[in-house]
Amino acid sequence: MTAWLRAQLARQLFLHVARRMGPALTGLRLHRPDAFFRRVGADGLIGFGESYTAGDWDADDLVGVLTALAGEVGTLVPPSLQRLRRLALPRAPLAVRGSPEGARRNIARHYDLSNELFAAFLDEGMTYSAAWFADPAAATWADLAPAQHRKIDRLLTQARVGPGTRLLEIGSGWGELAIRAARRGADVVSITLSEEQAQRARERASATRFPGKPDFRLCDYREVDGSYDAIVSAEMIEAVGARHWPDYFAVLRRRLAPGGRIALQAITMPHDRMLATLGTHTWVQKHIFPGGMLPSVPAIESLLGPLRIVERLSLREHYAHTLRLWRERYTQQHDLITKLGFDETFHRMWRFYLAYSEAGFRSGYLDVWQLTMERGRP
């Protein structure tokens, strides 16, 4: 199919969606329609995101437009074209798959951008996952750090972390969870593939006054050794990649001591949408999280083996408002982030990423679960 024909199909699809959704797309402005349709025709949703980054279109309420589109994502494309979807979508490049070497490259591309970048829009503990608010819709910036502590403390409590607990954290972030676990008296091993995160986490832990310090290691989850009473992992499974989910759960089973517990926080998507997108390449994978893939709850359940889920809590609404606060903070810190060396193209890309993610949770297309697991009785 020629590029011209693809652009014409994109134009007709856009007009079909605009007629169908009407007021929901009010405020979406095409500055360069021809460029917009060329990009969308060539690369679908990847092109849609890239056309925003390039300035081909804008929206008065970007989150509102993306939320409306996310809420209709399964039916936007007419059935006659949906059959061609998998043929038209780009495939994930081999280079970003989650082998140990690929995982290190993938993590570095996002988390090693700059500690100062993430510090500019995250809370003081630099926690980069869904918070748990007392009242999410009314949450302000002042509520974010306490809500992150509430989320972390629930994970630790669910995993029964206390004095003397041997705890493995898979995915250190910038150290807040491991530090709070150490304050409880746990013996903490926390692993990450991000050199920037490991450095900042070690600095933060060194500055604490309690005697036990977490052991932050640059280590792939497949390389970790030892036996642990508790394993906690907050929004790390999304970076593993679908083909390596069995490896990830095999590590959980192998490293969990008898009688131990696992507390997993995972962003999920509907099972049918997960199956439809397996192996394809998305805008988020290309520009934000290379090699990543969101599981569904049924996919997780199918991989547990002798483990069983004994407690589950959805934080979907809480994540929408966590992302709202990050997005607002990022906008406020625009000039500071520019001084760090990030240009306007980067700003538009990250505004789209934060708004796109928020829209996923607002629409219900995405969810996030705290899942508590233990071994079932034989």
The string of pLDDT tens digits covering residues 181-197 is 999 999 999 999 999 99
pLDDT interval class at 78 (50, 70, 90): low
pLDDT value, residue 272: 93
What token pair was written down for 61?
């309420």
Global pTM? 0.94
What token pair was written down for 353?
């990423």
pLDDT value, residue 90: 63
- What's the whole-number mean pLDDT along residues 264-274? 96
pLDDT value, residue 26: 85
pLDDT, mean over the chain: 92
pLDDT value, residue 178: 98
What are residue 189's DSSP bridge partners? 168, 215
pLDDT (tens digit per residue) in 124-174:
999 999 999 999 999 999 999 999 999 999 999 999 999 999 999 999 999
Give dist(CA 214, CA 165) in Å, integer: 12
Asked whether the beta carbons of 76 and 17 are under 8 A apart, the reply is yes
Judged against a pLDDT cut of 80, whether residue 37 lies above it is answered with yes
φ/ψ (deg, to 5) at 188? -105, 130
